[in-house]
Amino acid sequence: MKLQRVLQYTKALLADTVVAGDSVVDATAGNGHDTAFLAELVGSKGHVYAFDVQQQAVEATKLRLAENQLDKQATVILDGHQNVKKYVSEPIKAAIFNLGYLPGSEHSIVTKPGTTIEAVSDLLDLLHVGGMIILVVYHGHEGGKDERDKLLAYVSDLPQKYVHVLRYEFINQKNDPPFIIALEKMKDLP
């Protein structure tokens, strides 16, 4: 078996966790690549809730879904992922975050440690036992290292009886390569 690249491994984890009919969350829709991938996995009986704070991202995601006839099984929401509980009340099987900024757009609009952690905490409540939250951590931009460190401190402290936390990272790559944090819920948190 070869070592899977970060984005390849992210997709493999999602594909292994999500089955047709599930509800899932794309916490950072961006250009909608992950939203479309998840919409394929959940099928016409499942649902994807996708969040982004930029109108441009919401439109790009809606367009990608429509072009692939996946729009019926997804809701794209112009709001921050920290407000997930306003829109999602049913249990979810998985959530994905790609932290940082939208490639090709305003670099000042980036995910932030406080709201990212708030969203992860709320998603852990909504997550099925056996479900997974995956964060692809980009940390090369301004503020990225602060978000990375605060997030690592938060997830490292989650009790292992309830959540298994994995860090998947290539440690000899140059220029702040992204890495994965994957949270697998083992038991409902108290």
Binding site for ligand SAM (CB under 6 A): 27-28, 30-34, 51-54, 57, 80-82, 98, 100-102, 109-111, 115
Nearest distance from C-beta of residue 109 to ligand SAM, angstroms:
5
**Closer CB to ligand SAM, residue 17 or residue 111?**
111
**Closer CB to ligand SAM, residue 124 or residue 129?**
124
Q: Which residue is nearest to ligand SAM (CB)?
A: 30
**Closer CB to ligand SAM, residue 134 or residue 183?**
134
Nearest distance from C-beta of residue 141 to ligand SAM, angstroms:
10
From CA 35, how far away is CA 61, in angstroms rounded?
Answer: 7
**Closer CB to ligand SAM, residue 177 or residue 186?**
177
**Closer CB to ligand SAM, residue 55 or residue 160?**
55
From CA 119, how far away is CA 114, in angstroms rounded?
Answer: 9
Nearest distance from C-beta of residue 68 to ligand SAM, angstroms:
13
Cβ–Cβ < 8 Å for 137, 167: no
- Residues 36-67 as b/e (b if ≥16 CB within 10 A, e otherwise) read bbbbbbbeeebbbbbbbbbeebbebbbebbee
Nearest distance from C-beta of residue 3 to ligand SAM, angstroms:
22
Nearest distance from C-beta of residue 18 to ligand SAM, angstroms:
16
Query: Interior CA angle at 29 toward 72 and 5, to 5°?
Result: 115
Q: How many CB atoms lie within 10 A of CB 123?
A: 23
